[in-house]
Structure 1
Amino acid sequence: METTDLKDFQKRLADKVGQVLVKHREEVTDFLDPFLLNVAFKYLVKIPDIKFASFGGSKDTERRRIVICPEYLEPEFNMAKITILELTGNIDYIKINHGDCLGSLLGQGLKREKVGDIYPTERGFIAILSNEVAQFILVHPPQLKGLSLTPQILEADNWQPPFKPGKTIKTSVASLRLDALVASGFGLSRTKVIGDIKGGKVKVNWQEINNISFQCKEKDVISFRGQGRVVIAQIGGETRKGRIAVELLRFK
């Protein structure tokens, strides 16, 4: 994230805190990725006279909204104004991925910050949305690869995120540089990934990294726009050829 964007986010967050303290009512942020959640938590924990908590639809969701309350109120899920929608259609013979599902929503005019986690399923996908855009999607459902979808609301207490299987990749790299791990994890040439990293298509732990020499570490999450994500599950020892053994987990 650019420095100016981060400052804008911090200002908006401070404005919400100000509203809570002046008007004595709860405020809720947009959906935030884990990087921005961490930034927000570090700021909010220093503010007296408030309470806050994050909600995303389940305990395992990555993108979440933060509810900020006066200190005499307890943040609750209903304050986060979240709706869980399941969108299904006749897509049995079509391969879809996370990007396809997100694109179908953004194609309806939704802003990314109003969309939480998305889970592709065999018949469509599940999307966690802010209440206001969920109502819009119920009336104006998107299409997925040209096929119609039917939306329905899932009760927050009665659903679980679908299991997302990952592909294990055991390989070796010359170093733990970002470009080396991206190339190995996604099966691409170093030449291509260098351009994509410098072009802002790669994030490490939800923060955009443009430096191809960035040193990665175990448990880092590498997201590559249009390709999916790779988790560095394990970093092993040195091979006979002087390379570093790594175990990666790739998700599409």
Structure 2
Amino acid sequence: MEKDEFFLKRIRELANLSYQRDIVTFSDFLNLNEQNMVNSLKSQLPGIVMESSGGYDNAERQMVAFHPDALAFTWEYPIDCLKIEPKAIKFSEDLTHRDYLGALLNLGVDRNVLGDILVQKNAAWFFSSNKMTDFFLKNMCRVRHTNILISKIENPDEFPRPELEAVSGTCASVRLDALIALAFKSSRSSMVPFIEGGHVFVNGKLITSNGYEPKDGDIISVRGKGRFIFDGVSHQTKKGRCSVRILRYI
């Protein structure tokens, strides 16, 4: 509880600083739970606009920007995208998200300066606070036993696109527990503890009701499991069940 109170105090300080000095202030990268706490403060911060970004569309870890509602100048998030690739593909290992994250944290940095890490074959991209870019460029040289090259991506068109896997199935109704069970190939009853335990977020908002009905396009995140996009109901079966489609982040 003390940790949460300290976090919310820091968020209020950033918002007040923005209002008093007529500037844009930024949080660190926030996880889903922290984003949910920030959103709960909106009504307590009149005159301040809160926006968020993780450097690319639908990022999970996001940085929140605070600015006065009548701000008269343009601004950008202090976020850079860096690419990691092996020096020699022939001698590279099959590296995972955990491997890349571990290599970054082993440099002695805090998790809050890092956004999402997107892993594809023989490469990974990660988003970071731009104040850390030079540090990573100079000090990141190996992931596990693989020697790597690291570079800053200047052109947004070269930013990575998350890979999605289409999953289809049927459920009695479009409920949160049913969709999560379908996405992660589990039973509805096994998903209930995740929902009631505060591990499920819809578009960054904490949801604790098993019967919550997501809307088309909602992004559903389950801590410890992954996330997916609810792509809607295609039709009803002869038995009255809903045929649904989801897009799961790989």
TM-score by length of 1: 0.73
Q: CA deviation at 1:201?
A: 3.9
- 2:120 corresponds in structure 1 to 121
> Quick one: which amino acid aligns to residue 120 of structure 2?
T
Q: Does 1:151 align with 2:141?
A: no
Q: CA deviation at 1:233?
A: 0.3
Kindly indicate whether the alpha-carbon contact (under 8 Å) linking 1:91 and 1:122 is maintained by their aligned counterparts in 2. no
- 1:85 corresponds in structure 2 to 82
Q: CA deviation at 1:221?
A: 1.3
Q: CA deviation at 1:246?
A: 0.7
- 2:227 corresponds in structure 1 to 229
CA distance in 1, matches of 2:249, 2:234: 21
Kindly indicate whether the alpha-carbon contact (under 8 Å) linking 1:91 and 1:147 is maintained by their aligned counterparts in 2. no
Question: Deviations along 1:122-174, whole A, 9 cap, x unmatched?
Answer: 3221111112333332333275454343322222x454322333221221012
CA distance in 2, matches of 1:27, 1:148: 37
CA spacing shift, 1:65–1:242, aligned 2, 3 Å: same
CA distance in 2, matches of 1:151, 1:96: 15
Match of residue 217, structure 2, among 211, 216, 219:
219
> Quick one: which amino acid aligns to residue 206 of structure 1?
G
- 1:46 corresponds in structure 2 to 46
What 5-or-longer segments of structure 1 have no aligned partner? Answer: none
Kindly indicate whether the alpha-carbon contact (under 8 Å) linking 2:36 and 2:206 is maintained by their aligned counterparts in 1. no
Secondary structure at the counterpart of residue 30 of structure 1: strand
Kindly indicate whether the alpha-carbon contact (under 8 Å) linking 2:8 and 2:37 is maintained by their aligned counterparts in 1. no
CA distance in 2, matches of 1:190, 1:146: 41
TM-score by length of 2: 0.74
CA distance in 1, matches of 2:106, 2:187: 31
Q: Does 1:74 align with 2:73?
A: yes
- What is the aligned-residue identity percentage? 27
- 2:131 corresponds in structure 1 to 132
> Quick one: which amino acid aligns to residue 78 of structure 2?
K
Secondary structure at the counterpart of residue 17 of structure 1: helix
Q: CA deviation at 1:16?
A: 1.7
CA distance in 2, matches of 1:185, 1:173: 12
Q: CA deviation at 1:51?
A: 7.5
Q: CA deviation at 1:249?
A: 1.0
Q: Paired residues, what number?
A: 243
CA spacing shift, 1:28–1:69, aligned 2, 3 Å: farther
CA spacing shift, 1:137–1:183, aligned 2, 3 Å: same
Q: CA deviation at 1:210?
A: 4.1
CA distance in 2, matches of 1:179, 1:70: 38
Q: CA deviation at 1:200?
A: 4.3
